[in-house]
Amino acid sequence: MLPSRLTNGNLTSLSRKLVSQQHRSLASKVSALSLTSKKRQGKKITMVTAYDYPSAIHVARAGIDIILVGDSVAMVELGHETTLPITLDHMLQHCMAVKRGVDQADRNKHHVPLLVGDMPFGTYEYRDTDVSLRNAYRFVKEAGMDAVKLEGGSVARANTARTIVDGGIAVMGHIGLTPQAISVIGGFRAQGRTAVRARQLVDEALRLQDAGCFAIVLECVPANVAAAVTETIEIPTIGIGAGGQTSGQVLVYHDMLGMTSHPHHEQFVPKFCKRYAQVGHIIQEGLLAYKKDVESGVFPGDEFAPYIMKDDERNVFDELLAQDAHERKRQHDEAAERYTATDEYEKLHLYGSSVDEPKIIH
C-alpha cells in the first residue's frame, strides 16, 4: 500500500516531475553526438581549458561546450617549461577538482559541458595498447571524465585510440603541433606549412576518424590546411591557432583571461590567443589594496571582526588573565630577549655577507 500522504495522484505528479528533471539534465548535457550535430548544422563549438574547482565553475556557467582538463596545467599552473613532467596521478587530481566544479555549477541548472581529460606523456604510447586502456579507465572511473584526449595521428596512435574506443571510452584526437612531442618536432613550432606535411595531416585526421575519435584538435596549422581537414572529415575539428574555418575553437583559460598579466610586466601570450580580460591586473589591484589596508591598520577594523564575547564572559576572562599576569610577563620578557638577540645577529650579518657591508681590502 502507498503511504497515507502519497496518493496515486501525487505519485503520478512526482513521477512526471522526476522524468522531466532527468530529461532536462540529459538534454543540457553536451555529448559527442551533439557536437557532431553542431558541426552539421554549421554551429560553432566552444572549448576552454580548466584545471581546478573555481575555473570549472566559471567555464560551466559561461555555457562552454567542452572543458578540457589539459596537460598544459603543467605550464600555466605548476610552472614547468613544458607539459612533459605532469603525471597521471596529478592529472587525475585536477580532473576530479574540475568535475566537482562542474557539478556545483549544474546545481544551479547551468549548461553541462562535456569533460575531456588529457592523457599525459608516458601513459598511452606503449605498443601494448591495454596499458593505455587501463589508464583511460582511470579518467572515467576515478575522475568522472566523459572522454580522454591523446596526441598524434600515426598508425600506432590510431590503434591506441581504437582500443580505447572499443573499451567504451570516447576519444578526442590532437594533431598539428603536439606539445608532448616537442623533443621530436624541435620545439613549439607550427606544423603543416609544407604541402607534403599538410597532406599528411589530412591523412592523420582520416586515420583518427576511422579509429573512432569523436573530434580532433588542430593546433598551430595554416588556416587553409585546417579548412581542408575540416571539410574532409565528418567529425568536428577544434582549432587553436588554426584559423576560423574549423568546427570550433579552444583557448587556454589563463591565456585568454590574462591571469598573470600585470600593469608593469607584459605577460607572454601566444600569437593565436586573443586576450578577453586582464584578470591579473585586477588581482594585483586587490592584493596591493589589501597590503595597504593591513599595514595601515584599516583592515580588519570593527566591520570585519564580528565575533564578540559576552560581557560576563569577558569579565571572567580578564580575571583569569590577572591570576598569572606576573608569570606571563616574565615569560614574555625572556622571549623578547631571545628574539632581540637573534635580530642583532642578523643585523651584524653573522649568517652571511650583505651587499651593504664594507669590504676589507688586503
The phi, psi pair for 264, rounded to 5°, reads -115, 5
- 99 close to 115: Cβ distance less than 8 angstroms: yes
What residues contact 163, with CB distance under 8 A and at least 6 apart? 129, 130, 132, 133
Cα–Cα distance measured from residue 93 to residue 70, given in angstroms and rounded to the nearest whole number: 12
Cα–Cα distance measured from residue 62 to residue 54, given in angstroms and rounded to the nearest whole number: 13
Single-letter code of the amino acid located at 284: Q
Cα–Cα distance measured from residue 67 to residue 86, given in angstroms and rounded to the nearest whole number: 19
Set of cell numbers at residue 27: 538534454
Active-site residue list: 219
Q: Is 173 helix (H, G, I), strand (E, B) or coil?
A: strand
Cα–Cα distance measured from residue 171 to residue 146, given in angstroms and rounded to the nearest whole number: 9
At residue 129's C-alpha, the angle toward residues 95 and 207, to 5°, is: 90
Cα–Cα distance measured from residue 284 to residue 184, given in angstroms and rounded to the nearest whole number: 39
